Amino acid sequence: MSLPPVTIRRERIAEFDYLRGMAIAMIVLGHSIFLAQPVFPALLENVLRGGTGLFVFISGFFFHHVFYPRFDYTQFIAKKASALLIPFLIISAFALLIRMFGWWQDGLNWQENLLNAWYTLRNGYILYPHWYIPFIFLTFLCSPLHLLYIRAHLSVQIIVFAAFSLIALLIHRPQSNSNFLQSLIYFTPYYLLGILFSQYEPQLRRWHWPLLVVSVLVIATTAIVQTYIWKHIGNYHKAAFVYEGWDLQFIQVLFGCIAMLALCRHIRPWLQQHLCWLADLSFPIFFIHPLLTIALENLVAMEAIEPFFPVSSLGTSLLVFIAVFLVQFYGSAGIAVLIQSVFKKNSRFIVG
């Protein structure tokens, strides 16, 4: 027996404000491990990796909840282009200049410098986490297909969701995240799941506790199996048509979306305001934090600090991880607030 489609409601759902704040924290946490290696706990790393799926899940939810009721393709794409592509290009140009200056300091002549710039540009992004922008914009370009998905019968929706999930389990994420079509296929289940959670939100809310318990069990099982039995650390990356096993990280993150949304219904009041503040800054933090990664890498390369790395003890590893996260996360938030205070409404063209 299928669930009837629910009436579209456009009121704000507080849990998704909290979830956006948690999602950007998860992404930066996953990007804060690099100086804590090689003794960082493998299980903890596998739990922290893959936060991008949560961002895609949220995008799918809001596509249905916010844009679907009065969807206009041209306006939708134009709005996304101004919100994502313009700051992506501005920050990328700034980052490329920094990189080229660094290559020049390393002794590269101008021909070698330009060649390095070309090698960087052909990946489709300058700062590594920014591969997400071309991919998610490609997802938005596929909106007519998502409209068909929303209007389909629930049984068809489940079959399509299951088919894309099976493909994602086998196709994995692309090498260097530079194959945006492969990323589109891999992350589509997260987007479709977000749509379903918006479309059937009242019914799914009634299954809150069973969904939470099952999701936590699946997350724990897949993380333990991936870490200690399959001995794979982090996300799965490979060429699309090469078989390298099943992507347990995909399953873990997919159920992580469900679990974290359920947990957001239990956020304490003292934390709610802070998460909403982070939610408003989520894209500025996403755009800015890779620049602080470069700054930290340069800092560690200094003669006075370099002997302390790589870290050799678990305690030091965890302390470095926490420090890197705080610098990248709240440093990016502080820079974003400063840019917003200076450029006002125009700041969205710089930091999103």
For 291-305, write each residue's pLDDT tens digit. 899 889 888 877 778
By the 10 Å C-beta count (0-12 exposed, 13-18 middle, 19+ buried), 247 is classed as buried
C-alpha to C-alpha distances, 69 to 10, 122, 198, nearest whole angstrom: 8, 38, 12
Give CA–CA dist 98/93, Å, rounded: 9
Q: Which of 5-9, 138-142, 159-163, 263-267 has the lowest mean pLDDT?
A: 5-9
Give 326's contacts (C-beta < 8 A, 6+ positions apart): none
Does residue 11 surpass a pLDDT of 80?
no
Encode pLDDT of 17-59 as tens digits: 899 999 999 999 999 998 998 999 999 999 998 889 999 999 9
User: Region 208-232: what's the mean pLDDT?
Assistant: 94
Does residue 136 surpass a pLDDT of 90?
yes
More confident residue, 58 or 345: 58
Give CA–CA dist 12/16, Å, rounded: 8
pTM: 0.90
φ, ψ at 237 (rounded to 5°): -130, 135
User: Region 200-210: what's the mean pLDDT?
Assistant: 89
Report the helix count and the strand count for the chain, using DSSP H and E.
Answer: 17, 0
Does residue 90 surpass a pLDDT of 80?
yes
Give CA–CA dist 30/46, Å, rounded: 9
Does residue 10 surpass a pLDDT of 70?
no
